[in-house]
Amino acid sequence: MKVSRRGFIATTAAGSASLALDLKGQDKPATTGALPGNPPKKPIIISAHNGYNYLDRGYAVLTSGGDTLDAVMQVITGPEDDPNDDSVGLGGLPNEDCVVQLDACCMHGPTRMAGAVAAVEEIKNVSLLSKAVMEHTGHVMLVGAGAQKFGFDMGFPRINLLTERSRKVWLLWKETMSNKDWWGPGLASPKYVLPDASHSELYEERIQKMGELAAKLGIEPEFRAAAVQRVLRPPTGTINCSAINEKGEISGATTTSGLAWKISGRAGDSPIIGAGCYVDQDVGAAGATGNGEENIKVCGAHTIVENMRRGMSPQEAGMDALKRIVRNFNGDMAKMQYVDMSYYILRKDGAYAGVCMWSGGPEHPRTFSVHDGTKRNEVAVALFQGKSIGWPPMPERGHLAPEQKK
Ligand code: ASP
């Protein structure tokens, strides 16, 4: 169809009118539940548990009238700067080539802007780098060498992110387990063959040998058991944080070193707007930690915000996203034991929830951190009772713990 300039203007005007109508319609929830309209009476911050120590400084930004994304950055740069948090920033566990590559993204509710970076080397505060992409470019996402160059151009210092401790844990992985990697069909593939459960007695023996090797590699005695566990059960960590003030302005961000021993260049959910983090000023915010590959496929953070828009409570909205992941595995619990996921959810009226796939052990339940004038950790609501097992699956531990046989 040929469209004249006059016709184009008429079409565009009609388009704008219907767009205006649609936007108005979005304020009404599509289902029975009502989306509360009033902002909270006091500011609230919610984060993954590793944000706990930094919540006060984020809260101080909010109580002094600062921007909600600045408050979030005050929280998440804490673990980025901490060499002992090996899931984020400096000291993050490296990829299979022993290189630390970081991912982050952020969303600013009041301006509805977003920024993201992925697979960035030698820059510590990638959360701030994602904010710089948002504020100083017309783009939303930069990756790899380009993101790094942009960071250096913006004045971010070049830093060696690989600590001695993380390098030694990588060596332990390389010598003992690096044949169990991310290559080959993944857990989600129909071609994936679950590990043989019959070798579980070798597991203890393997732990002992790895402990001996850890000693030879010079890993300090008090960290040896933890180092072995990091190799056998590569940790998920990451930090997501969302903040809202009394005006109802809301922002969120996520930063991570991603999964340990990943293939170089792999980007998980954390830098993906709509997966690792999502904010809609009209509804609320959500963010994730856990197996990024699974979260990307359900667009977890976006799904949760849309669920709240349709009237679900934060907890219902998060549980629904977790169930979508389970559905993707047809409810196969033999596979689900390897999948972990936590969501941190904050609605625009200040209602919040932390939900997780697995509850964790009774002595170490999954928690998340909150500050609403009082700083605390709260236990997350779990879909399944028990602990997940780290990925990739190792033959020697490919068996369900009794409490996980559902
Ligand atoms: N979600 C992160 C990723 O997949 C990892 C994590 O949360 O620990 O990169």
Ligand 1 near 86 CB (within 6 A): no
Percent of the chain with pLDDT over 90: 68
User: Which residue in the block uniquely carries the two structure tokens 């040998």?
Assistant: 209
Q: Which residues are catalytic?
A: 238
pLDDT, mean of residues 19-41: 57
Q: Give the number of the atom of ligand 1 that is nearest the alpha carbon of residue 103.
A: 9
Query: Is the confidence at residue 302, as pLDDT, over 60?
Result: yes
Specify whether the backbone of 196 is left (phi greater than 0), alpha (psi in -120 to 50) or beta.
Answer: beta
According to the model, what pLDDT value does residue 177 have? 78
According to the model, what pLDDT value does residue 188 have? 86
Percent of the chain with pLDDT over 70: 85
Is CATH 3.60.20.30 the right assignment for the domain spanning 5-161+235-397? yes
Q: Which long-range contacts (CB under 8 A, 24 or more apart) does 395-399 make?
A: 395/195, 395/196, 395/199, 396/195, 396/199, 396/200, 396/202, 396/203, 396/206, 397/195, 397/200, 397/203, 397/232, 398/194, 398/195, 398/196, 398/197, 399/197, 399/200
Give 168-212 pLDDT, tens digit per residue.
Answer: 999 999 988 777 778 888 888 888 877 665 555 577 788 888 899
Ligand 1 near 245 CB (within 6 A): no
Contacts of 201 (CB under 8 A, 6+ apart): none
User: Identity (one letter) of the amino acid at 158?
Assistant: R
Global pTM?
0.88
Ligand 1 near 388 CB (within 6 A): no
- Give the torsion through C-alpha atoms of 263, 265, 270, 271, to 10 deg: -170
Ligand 1 centroid to Cα of residue 268, in Å, is 6
54 pLDDT tier (thresholds 50, 70, 90): very high
Give 310-363 pLDDT, tens digit per residue.
Answer: 999 999 999 999 999 999 999 999 899 989 999 999 999 999 999 999 999 888
Query: Is the confidence at residue 44, as pLDDT, over 70?
Result: yes
